[in-house]
A and B are shown apart, each in its own frame.
Chain A
Amino acid sequence: MKKRIVLKINNQDYELLVADNETLAQLLRGTQVNLTGTKQGCEIGDCGACTVLMDGKPVNSCLVLAVQASGHEITTIEGLARTGKLHPIQEAFIEAGAVQCGFCTPGMILKAKALLDTNTKPTRQEIRKAFVGNLCRCTGYFKIINAVEKASEMLSEEEVKS
């Protein structure tokens, strides 16, 4: 018997029927919601590729049941670009050369958003500590840390402008 859930995904309301044993990751990637930007690298919370924001906080969507997401606000990577314009964090990642195979990238970018929402000028060490839950095999993390630094600069410039 499927259960009815009501939630917001990327600022859009959804009313969905989900199985008890369906994870949030499966729900997002499945045919009802069809947002495949959230990736699955391990399905048990070891790699962070499935990171989404739940009420603004980063979680491994592979370890949240779809039913548990009812009543909450989920942000996936697809929810960042505003009306066709890249989010500054996305721009920073692109320009810094922080994206190689890209599989860890959605999780990395969302984690960066969560960090910069609470700490606008993180040090490199603070950035490192924030990203321990996001594994990357390609970049060695170096340019990812650079990208987050760059994003924090870009965001504060935007702040100043607005």
Chain B
Amino acid sequence: MILPRFKFTEPQTLEEAFEIVEQNKGDSAFLAGGTDLLVNLKKKVVNHSVIVSLEKLAELKNIEYSNEKGLTLGAMTRISDIEESLVLREKYPILAIAASKLGSPQVRNRATVGGNICAARPAGDTIGPLIAYAATARLVSKDGERRQPLEEFFLGPGRTIIKEGEILADIQLSTVPANTGASYIKYGIRKAMEIAMVTVTTLLTFGNASCQSAWVVLGAVAPTFIRSPQAEDVLSGKMFSRNIAGQAAKLAADCCQPISDMRASAEYRRELVEVLTRRSLLEAASQCVNFS
């Protein structure tokens, strides 16, 4: 499988990048890690005559953390750096865990968080945890910038709210409140190298022994990542218990819209959502509170 012919460009500044996109209306694509785009080009799923590498754009590589401001994660941050970062493992643990389950070490050394987000796969590994950490995406264009909560970033499989001429610059995550437990579960056919059948991300913040806020984010079971507001409502403001976790899990399973494909049937995915949501909630809660 060979790559089709294309023109490779490597802008040194954002302005250059905007210029190239403008000149090649509709026919250019951004190259981040390449583990998605190059595969799609080889498989002839997509075809672009101009490839715009983001490698040299310093603005996309900014990584900053402070206890006050939280985390700014440049779009070109490698998944392997997210996996190995001590700061991330401590402050945003399920993001690091999700990163460690993406593809293989070889893929992770090239793939980027920006690429993972913009590919907008319903099974994209980092997306669930980013949403649960209330991430905001910052998009830049020659007209300025805008921000969008990641929760509202996706329109469907492979489709985002990014307009032509915009580049995802970074993701911002606020500090995680104290007494927060989180869990990321990915299920696939094999134990590695899988595009998930189902992903479940849960994040529970506790105060006064009860759950103050809950995030239940599901991947691969709807056209985009979805939260389950019904599950979250049943958890919030209550003492956590196995019972409540079970109820929430059922509600999560009810709200998802899985499809049947060659990996699994919709029915099975729905069953997995229930079981894995329950397990995920128990895991998240056990990091903070005792419960029965």
> A-side interface residues toward B, CB under 8 Å?
3, 19-23, 26, 43-46, 48, 51, 54, 57-60, 63-65, 67-68, 111, 114, 130, 132-134
The 5 closest A-B pairs by CB, nearest first: A133-B104, A132-B192, A20-B8, A21-B3, A43-B1
Contacts of A60 in B (CB 8 A): 35, 104, 106-107, 110
Further pairs besides A44-B43, A63-B35: 20, Cβ < 8 Å: A21-B2, A44-B38, A44-B39, A45-B35, A46-B193, A51-B106, A59-B110, A60-B104, A60-B106, A63-B38, A64-B110, A65-B8, A67-B8, A68-B34, A68-B53, A111-B105, A132-B192, A133-B104, A133-B106, A134-B104
Is B80 among interface residues, defined by CB-CB distance under 8 A?
Answer: yes
Measured CA separation A20–B35 after assembly (Å): 17
Known contacts A64-B110, A68-B53; is-contact A133 B38 (Cβ 8 Å): no
Measured CA separation A58–B105 after assembly (Å): 7
A-B contact pairs, 21 of them (CB 8 A): A20-B6, A20-B8, A21-B2, A44-B1, A44-B42, A44-B43, A45-B35, A45-B39, A45-B107, A46-B193, A48-B106, A51-B106, A54-B109, A57-B80, A59-B110, A60-B106, A65-B38, A111-B105, A132-B192, A133-B104, A133-B105
Task: Please provide the chain B residues from 206 to 225 with a CB less than 8 Å away from any CB of chain A in the complex.
Answer: none
How close is B102's CB to chain A, nearest CB, in angstroms? Answer: 11
How close is A110's CB to chain B, nearest CB, in angstroms? Answer: 10
Contacts of B51 in A (CB 8 A): 20
Main secondary structure on A side of the interface with B: mixed
Does A23 contact B3, Cβ atoms closer than 8 Å? Answer: yes
Is B5 among interface residues, defined by CB-CB distance under 8 A?
Answer: yes
Is B26 among interface residues, defined by CB-CB distance under 8 A?
Answer: no
Q: Using CB atoms, name the residue of chain A closest to B5.
A: A21
Q: Using CB atoms, name the residue of chain A closest to B8.
A: A20
Does A21 contact B6, Cβ atoms closer than 8 Å? Answer: yes
Measured CA separation A21–B7 after assembly (Å): 8
Known contacts A3-B8, A21-B2; is-contact A68 B55 (Cβ 8 Å): yes
Q: Using CB atoms, name the residue of chain B closest to A54.
A: B109
